[in-house]
Amino acid sequence: MISRRQLIDQIKQKKSFLCVGLDTDIDKIPEFLKNYPDPIFEFNKRIIDATKDLCVSYKPNAAFYEARGIKGLQSLIDTWKYLPRDTLNIIDAKRGDIGNTSDKYATAFFNEEASGMSFDAITITPYMGNDSVTPYLKYDGKWIIILALTSSVGSKDFQYLETGDGYLYETVIQKANTWAGADRIMYVVGATKSTEFTNIRKYAPDNFLLVPGVGAQGGSLEEVCKYGITKDCGLIVNASRSIIYAGNDENFAEAARAEALLIQQQMEVELEKAGVI
Ligand SMILES: O=c1ccn([C@@H]2O[C@H](COP(=O)(O)O)[C@@H](O)[C@H]2O)c(=O)[nH]1
Which numbered atom of ligand 1 lies nearest the CA of 214?
A: 13
Nearest protein Cα to ligand 1, atom 1: 150
Residue of 217, 236, 244, 259 to mutate, ligand 1, most atoms within 8 A of C-beta: 217
Give 161: exposed, middle or buried? Use CB within 10 Å, 0-12, 13-18, 19+: exposed
The count of structural domains within the chain is 1
Active site annotation includes 138: no
Query: One-letter amino acid identity for 7?
Result: L
Taking the centre of ligand 1 as the mean of its atom positions, its distance from the CA of residue 196, in whole angstroms, is: 18
Nearest protein Cα to ligand 1, atom 19: 212
Which numbered atom of ligand 1 lies nearest the CA of 61?
A: 16
Q: In this predicted structure, what is the pLDDT of residue 165?
A: 86
ipTM: 0.99
User: Which residues line ligand 1 at a C-beta cut-off of 6 Å?
Assistant: 21, 23, 61, 92, 150-152, 188, 190, 212-213, 215-217, 238-242
Q: Distance between CA 105 and CA 29 in Å, rounded?
A: 29
Active-site choice (12, 28, 71, 94): 94
Q: How far is CA 86 from the centre of its chain?
A: 15
Q: In this predicted structure, what is the pLDDT of residue 1?
A: 87
pLDDT in single tens digits along all 277 residues of the chain: 899 999 999 999 999 999 999 999 999 999 999 999 999 999 999 999 999 999 999 999 999 999 999 999 999 999 999 999 999 999 999 999 999 999 999 999 999 999 999 999 999 999 999 999 999 999 999 999 999 999 999 999 999 999 998 999 999 999 999 999 999 999 999 999 999 999 999 999 999 999 999 999 999 999 999 999 999 999 999 999 999 999 989 999 999 999 999 999 999 999 999 999 9
The enclosing domain of 215 has a CATH number of 3.20.20.70
Taking the centre of ligand 1 as the mean of its atom positions, its distance from the CA of residue 56, in whole angstroms, is: 17
The full DSSP string for 3-48 is -HHHHHHHHHHHT--EEEEE---TTTS-GGGGGSSSHHHHHHHHHH
Taking the centre of ligand 1 as the mean of its atom positions, its distance from the CA of residue 4, in whole angstroms, is: 23
For residues 189 and 236, the answer to whether their CB atoms sit within 8 Å is no
Task: Return the closest-CA partner of residue 267 out of 104, 52, 54.
Answer: 54
Task: Return the closest-CA partner of residue 48 out of 18, 30, 22, 68.
Answer: 22
Nearest protein Cα to ligand 1, atom 16: 61
Residue span of the structural domain in which 10 resides: 4-273
Nearest protein Cα to ligand 1, atom 3: 150
Taking the centre of ligand 1 as the mean of its atom positions, its distance from the CA of residue 213, in whole angstroms, is: 6
